[in-house]
Amino acid sequence: MIRTNLLLAAAVAITPIAAEAGDPLPAFDVAEDISRFVFAASPVFGDGMPAYGNAFITQGYIYPAGTLDGGVEGTLPNGDPAFPDLVIGEWTCDGFFVGDGMRTETGALVITRQVYRFNDGDLLISHGPELVDAGVTVTRAVTGGTGDYADAPAEIDQVLLGMSEGYGVRLQIELGAGSDAAAGGSDHTEWDSGVRVGPMPTSGSHEAS
């Protein structure tokens, strides 16, 4: 009986520690691996670039917030992460081109679902528009989460930090749109790469005229 009571007391003592969830990251960066960007055969423009309604899927790497500030690339030309020791998860994005498809010059370029799968198994899912405008914040809806993100805020903010030819988009994600904790004083200064922002299939692709 004494042994049973001791075991129960020990279980009660350790249960709160085991059940205590960690804190979700208030922000993180995403670097697209353009080698995994695939879009549908149609509809496309005459030059082969995705037009309105084209479906696509792409993937990339999740880094700690600030990793990609100042125009730093998070992906190597062969698709590998530029900072493998800093990768904290995998980003998957699927959706549809809107606006004027790949020719969109301002506003919403795509409507997407994004799944952020962290190395510890936690998930965060968001839906909403993505802008072609670098340095401009867009709010997306959080539609699901597990683990540390089970009680994530209802919104996230996304900023397109930019892209360079063939390497894919660079994003910064902040939880809790408008909150002090999410804002964190991040600097969204954009590095001007001289190329059109938005996903591009290959480094050799030319822009739509």
Give pLDDT, residue 23: 87
Give pLDDT, residue 165: 72
Question: Per residue in 97-131, pLDDT tens?
Answer: 999 999 999 999 999 999 999 999 999 999 999 99
Contact (Cβ atoms closer than 8 angstroms) between residue 158 and residue 22: no
Q: Which helix (H) or strand (E) holds 4?
A: helix 2-19
Q: Which domains does the chain show, CATH number per domain? A: 22-183 (2.40.480.10)
Contact (Cβ atoms closer than 8 angstroms) between residue 122 and residue 147: yes
Give pLDDT, residue 157: 98
Amino acid code (one letter) for 7: L
CB count, 10 Å around CB of 55?
16
Report which DSSP code applies to 181: H
Give pLDDT, residue 56: 98
Amino acid code (one letter) for 8: L
The ranges of the chain with pLDDT < 50 are 1-20, 177-209
How many whole angstroms separate alpha carbon 110 and alpha carbon 88? 25
Give pLDDT, residue 22: 77
How many whole angstroms separate alpha carbon 206 and alpha carbon 49? 9
Question: Per residue in 65-77, pLDDT tens?
Answer: 999 999 999 999 8
